[in-house]
Amino acid sequence: MNVKVINSILDAFSKTFKMATNNMDIVIQKPVVDKGENRSYEVVVTIGFIGDLNGNIHMGLSVESAKTIVSQMMMGMPVEKLDEMSLSALGELGNMISGAIAVSLEKLGYKINITPPSIMHGNNIIFIKDGISLRFPMNIDNKFSEEFFVVLKSAI
């Protein structure tokens, strides 16, 4: 994978996440090539993209981290459960992140179109990673260990 593309995606993800969550601390660690092992989550935000690059971005979260993220997006308002409004906020976070990634990649000469985000919420959500998959462990606010995936249909 092209390091400039990956760094561009990570930079856009990190900056947008911090901006949208009123400066929640996020530390994205070194990537691990995901060899197809199934990992399960309680909340998954998925954004697809097509164009010069084709693939998906997935953010796997626990319910507790998702509620904390939504609370921060809503200026500290307590979030007791992931209701329709909370899930919509996570979708909006996905929109903001994917838009920033599209702009960032265009600066490198890659034009992409993004899909609306898909939000899945439940027990033991497993998603199929069709393509070359990098998993980025991330620490959110020094409380939550979550994961971010970049899945590309072909090598770049």
Q: What is the pLDDT of residue 41?
A: 92
Interior/surface letters 32-52, b for 16+ CB within 10 angstroms, e for the rest: eebeeeeeebbbbbbbbbeee
Q: Is the model's pTM score more than 0.85?
A: yes
Contacts of 152 (CB under 8 A, 6+ apart): 1, 53, 54, 55, 131, 132
Note the pLDDT tens digit of each residue in 6-63. 999 999 999 999 999 999 999 999 998 887 777 889 999 999 999 999 999 999 999 9
**Fold held by 3-152:** Chemotaxis protein chec (3.40.1550)
Domain ranges of the chain: 3-152
**Per the structure block, which two tokens stand in for 144?**
């939550």
